[in-house]
Amino acid sequence: MNTLLGYRCSVCQAEYNPTQVQYTCPRDGGNLDVLLDISALQRAYQPEDITSRPQASLWRYQPLLPVSEPQESGTPLHSAGWTPLYRPERLAVSLGLRQLWLKDEGRNPTASFKDRASAIVVARARQIGAKVVVTASTGNAGAALAGMAAAIGQRAVILAPRTAPPAKIAQLLIYGAQVILVDGNYDQAFDLAVESAREFGWYCRNTGYNPFTAEGKKTAAFEIWEQLLLEEAFDRTLTIFVSVGDGNIISGLHKGFKDLRDLGWLNTMPRLFGIQAEGSAAVATAFAANTETITPVQAHTIADSISVDLPRDGLRALRAAQQTNGRYLTVSDDEILTAIAELGKVGIFAEPAGATAYAGLKAALRQGLIASDDPVLVLNTGSGLKDVRAAMQAVSQAPVIEPTLSALRAALR
Ligand SMILES: *Cc1c(COP(=O)(O)O)cnc(C)c1O
Ligand SMILES: [Zn+2]
């Protein structure tokens, strides 16, 4: 079933058919929402038709996606998504919360949330016969594109800032993508990727530019719906904490919940709380000022994955919080490091941008924005193994001892 009707601009609301545009609105550069044939989907499917599908991956939601699943099977691309949902009891008690869940996106094939977007974009590239997919990336989007592309033999070119954490650069290289490090920041790499796609006829995956990335990211909302909302009868609204850089994850989550609501499968929208690093807070600043004008910043934060001067999906990211009765909050780099250490103590290893969402929950509790009986879900968007240098800053050094019992005794004291 082909359910892709076309696109609608998030700025001017102009609608386009599927072959008219590829990336953003030609009139104003606005991000495009993918339009699905909701009434055809309603006629064809009940929720059980989706939740009874066998795939333990985001492909269980293929009927609600604008791409088909690549024909190979059993590749990493086919296992993106369907990440575990934990219930960390001790953490909940220490925070004074009755119901706390943590969804660990570090468990994706390349260890970040970005696999969701890259799996869908690579599937789209296959469908339109693109020879090469290019992306700019602070690291994770590139690693995800490189990994998903390698899985099905697609060529990929990655433009990343030369300052990206070494583990992320290693992933890019190991997955066999053509890796070019840019002596500049993410925003400059972004513009170069757009230009290169135009110049060389490549397909561009850039976050918040290619409308299919949000379609991939929305699958996390479907999973929260299936793993939690269909299971628990909440009498209070679920609040979801997610870190925000370009704003494509939060807008993708919003799109997913809107799709479910439009299908009539979701009554109450979860509240979306976007968390930014203090040093990279363009969306949070616009939210606080109650304006849709997003002013670029000079980003500086330890959380490299959300270090963004100009959020490329800022408007939709802003609306995701506004339209769900959510908020934006900011946290300091110190709070992010503390969050890494606290999550580690319940068995979850997060990279700085992943732990940012949890740091945001603590800030929200301090500010009295969350009640003890509010159900809360925190997304960890990336694995701590992505940035070991930052992780080491979150803990004190291990002592080095002589290999004797007496030295061990002394060290244990
Ligand atoms: C990309 C990324 C984010 C932020 O996603 P945006 O769409 O840029 O807001 C958060 N955490 C991690 C680990 C990421 O890789
Ligand atoms: Zn427009």
Condensed to tens digits (0 to 9), the pLDDT of residues 30-59 reads: 999 999 999 999 999 999 999 999 999 999
Number of the ligand 1 atom closest to the C-alpha atom of 139:
15
Residue % of the chain over a pLDDT of 90: 96
Contact 305 CB / ligand 1 (< 6 Å): yes
Q: Which ligand does the CA of 14 lie closest to?
A: 2
The partner residues of 101 in beta bridges, in order of sequence, read 377
Q: In the chain, what is the straight-line distance between the N-terminal and C-terminal CA atoms, in Å?
A: 66
The verdict on the CB of residue 276 being under 6 Å from ligand 1 is no
- Cβ of 140 below 6 Å from ligand 1: yes
Distance (Å, whole) CA 114 – CA 117: 5
Q: How far is the CA of 73 from the centre of ligand 1 (A)?
A: 28
Q: Is the per-residue pLDDT at 1 higher than 90?
A: no
At 41 the pLDDT is 98
User: Under CATH, what is the fold of the domain 79-108+214-393?
Assistant: Rossmann fold (3.40.50)
Q: What global pTM score does this model have?
A: 0.97
Sheet holding 271-277, edge to edge: 85-86, 100-104, 376-380, 239-243, 271-277, 327-331
* pLDDT recorded at residue 165: 86
- Minimal CA–CA distance to 319: which of 295, 287, 288? 287
Phi, psi (rounded to 5 degrees) for 204: -100, 125
How far apart are alpha carbons 237 and 176 in whole angstroms? 44
pLDDT tens-place string over residues 187-207: 899 999 999 999 999 999 999
Which residue, among 205, 207, 320, 209, has the nearest Cα to 255 in the 3D structure? Answer: 320
Residue 164 has pLDDT above 90, yes or no: no
| Cβ density class 49-62: b for 16+ within 10 Å, e for less | ebeeeeeebbbbbb
**For 46, which DSSP code?**
-
Please give the Cα distance from 80 to 117 (Å, whole number). 9
Find the 62 Cα to ligand 1 centroid distance in Å. 23
Per DSSP, 3 falls in state: -
Q: How far is CA 99 from CA 88, 94, 336, in A?
A: 9, 12, 22
Residue-level pLDDT at 138: 86
Q: Which ligand is nearest to the CA of 311?
A: 1
30 lines ligand 1 (CB under 6 A): no
d(CA 222, CA 228): 10
Query: 275-327 pLDDT, tens per residue?
Result: 999 999 999 999 999 999 999 999 999 999 999 999 999 999 999 999 999 99
Query: Which protein residue has the closest C-alpha to ligand 1 atom 7?
Result: 248
Half-sphere exposure of 236 (CA within 13 A, CB side): 12
Token pair recorded at residue 307: 């270090």
**Does residue 2 carry a pLDDT above 90?**
no
| Domain residue ranges of the chain, discontinuous segments joined by + | 79-108+214-393
Return d(Cα 274, Cα 330) in angstroms, integer.
9
* φ and ψ at residue 76, rounded to 5 degrees: -55, -35
How far is Cα of residue 27 from the mean position of the Cα atoms in its chain? 27
Q: What does each C-alpha distance from 214 to 122, 188, 294 come to in angstroms?
A: 13, 22, 20
| Per-residue confidence (pLDDT) for residue 117, from 0 to 100 | 98
**Ligand 1 binding pocket mutation candidate from 243, 272, 328 (most atoms within 8 A of CB):** 243
Q: What is the CA radius of gyration of the chain?
A: 21
